[in-house]
Amino acid sequence: DVKVTQSSRYLVKRTGEKVFLECVQDMDHENMFWYRQDPGLGLRLIYFSYDVKMKEKGDIPEGYSVSREKKERFSLILESASTNQTSMYLCASSSIYASGGNTEAFFGQGTRLTVV
């Protein structure tokens, strides 16, 4: 059974703290993604990575950074947490090789982050 695992389901942090969200996938996927999901705004891409040490900005990268030192692990870092970063964070992975040509995304269970 394929799996994307996020380190925490729920997290409460204080304004100004440095926050690390970890994501691990066991499918040997090349692509990994970080999204945030907010009511009425849908899923928005923060960063993605297509290979180890490679990263690309998504639609809303401000206030975030990422790290991919190993193929299976993709970390999202909030350098200085702010209350407007309170959200549901979803990690996903996908392969660049897919049978039938459809490269679906597999999601982790999500981390609900509250910044107080």
Partner 1 sequence: RKEVEQDPGPFNVPEGATVAFNCTYSNSASQSFFWYRQDCRKEPKLLMSVYSSGNEDGRFTAQLNRASQYISLLIRDSKLSDSATYLCVVNGGNYGQNFVFGPGTRLSVLP
Which residues of the chain form contacts with partner 1 (CB under 8 A)? 30-31, 33, 40, 42-43, 45, 48, 50, 56, 88, 90, 92, 94-96, 98, 100-110, 112
Nearer to partner 1, 59 or 79 (CB): 59
Positive/negative CA dihedral, 95, 47, 38, 4: positive
3-state SS string over 21-36? EEEEECCCCCEEEEEE
Nearest approach in angstroms of CB 8 to partner 1 is 14
Closest contact distance (angstroms) between CB of 115 and partner 1 is 18
Q: How far is the CB of 70 from partner 1 (least distance, A)?
A: 19
In contact, 73 and 22? CB cutoff 8 Å? yes
User: Which H helix or E strand runs over 111?
Assistant: strand 111-115
